[in-house]
Structure 1
Amino acid sequence: MKIQVSGIIEGQPIPDRFAFGVFNAEDRMSFGPNRSPEIAWDEVPEGTRSFAIVMFDPDVPSVADNVNQEGKTVSRDLPRVDFFHWLLVDIPADMRRIPEGEDSDGVMPKGKAVDAGSIGRRGVNNYTQFLAGNPDMAGTYGGYDGPCPPWNDELLHHYHFEVYALDVESLGLDGEFDGVAVREAMKGHVLASARVTGTYTLNPDLR
């Protein structure tokens, strides 16, 4: 399989228009355009009955104590965990492209619905947990929400966009399912996959 994410070149910075948070010299960070990028794929294996899209950042601090705290830094040596930014499953087998802005076009305080539409069924991304303590932002974040790494993180973050060709029409996931559930449900059903990786940082020393 091959994957193309419009505007994203392997190993290069992700454009601000796809980001949840953008660099702001005065306030460190402000909300970004948060548009879901156009994603297209081809060279699909025979027997494909649906697709799944997974976007995640494997560089998220495992401990958030120093995240976005003035006078502190998030050490590059801190253990890291996966943070899921986009989960879309049960994408019809005849689809080969999702247009830019189709699954997100702006930051939506308190999140977006987890539902099934013409492009597939949305999962819950990890902003649901990250923003749970913020009364202005807390909610269920379905579908795409883009990069917004800590502005004081010493580590450059990497964002993996993946598409999977599956041998089932549906993964059988309902309700507010997360990235762990998607990975578990896909086991034994992946015919092929493809990935492209972009980078992003809000740390002025790394930009």
Structure 2
Amino acid sequence: MKLTSSAFENNAKIPFKYTCDGQNINPPLRISEVPDEAKSLVLIMDDPDVPKRLKADGMWDHWIVFNIPPTVTEIPEGTEPPGIHCLGTSENLHYFGPCPPDREHRYFFKLYALDTELHLNPKATKKDVEERMKGHILAQTELIGRYERH
């Protein structure tokens, strides 16, 4: 399974437009090679580089969507995928762009193909989603972007 973006390469800088300093819209994403037996997809974007003084676990959840139909092959720029949106760290239900407080951070766009749909409350957290995914992941991939404010 693959997750790519026409806006940036893996491990490259995320363009300003997709950050809290720009338009704060999601970059275009392309999904390919989803296993035929997949029943749903999960998309998680998070930042593991948050200073511990701001968040004890060092993780900021920017975008969490589950029960995305496995037939989705692209998420156009500035659009939310079909599915159930969960609460991010900023209490956001939709994409919230990179906004590092201190230095360059890494942003992981993680995509999972599951053999089931998840039955969770829309107010679920990333932890709830990850717990329910256990034992149901058929394939996974990630796209990493970087951003530093100037």
Same fold per superposition (TM over 0.5): yes
Unaligned 5+ segments in structure 1 are 23-31, 66-78, 104-117, 129-140
Distance 2:51 2:40 in 1: 33
User: Secondary structure, in 3 states, of the residue corresponding to 2:129?
Assistant: helix
Distance 2:107 2:8 in 1: 10
User: Which one of 47, 71, 81 corresponds to residue 57 of structure 1?
Assistant: 47
CA drift at 1:47: 1.0
1:48 — aligned with what?
A: 38
1:4 — aligned with what?
A: 4
TM-score (normalised: structure 1): 0.68
Q: Which runs of 4+ in 1 moved over 3 A?
A: none
Say if 1:59 and 1:80, in contact at 8 Å, map to a contact too.
no
CA drift at 1:80: 5.8
Amino acid at match of 1:159: Y
Q: Deviations over 1:128-150 (max 9, x none)?
A: 2xxxxxxxxxxxx1021101110
1:93 — aligned with what?
A: 70
1:18 — aligned with what?
A: 18
**What is the number of residues matched between the two proteins?**
150
User: Which one of 162, 165, 177 corresponds to residue 113 of structure 2?
Assistant: 165
Q: Deviations over 1:53-94 (max 9, x none)?
A: 0100000112139xxxxxxxxxxxxx7611110101000122
CA drift at 1:195: 0.7
Task: Kindly report the root-mean-square deviation, in angstroms, between the aligned alpha carbons of the 2 structures.
Answer: 1.7
Q: Bigger radius of gyration, 1 or 2?
A: 1
Distance 2:122 2:45 in 1: 19
Unaligned 5+ segments in structure 2 are none
CA drift at 1:175: 3.1
1:32-43 correspondence to structure 2 within 5 Å: 32-43=22-33
Say if 2:34 and 2:70, in contact at 8 Å, map to a contact too.
no
1:86-125 correspondence to structure 2 within 5 Å: 86-103=63-80, 119-125=82-88
Q: Deviations over 1:167-186 (max 9, x none)?
A: 00x21111311111111111
Amino acid at match of 1:124: L
Q: Percent of aligned positions with the same letter in both sequences?
A: 35
Amino acid at match of 2:69: P
TM-score (normalised: structure 2): 0.93
Cα 1:166/1:184, change in 2 over 3 Å: same
User: Secondary structure, in 3 states, of the residue corresponding to 1:181?
Assistant: helix
Say if 1:54 and 1:161, in contact at 8 Å, map to a contact too.
yes
Say if 1:54 and 1:88, in contact at 8 Å, map to a contact too.
yes
Distance 1:182 1:35 in 2: 23
Residue 143 of structure 2 is aligned to residue 192 of structure 1: no
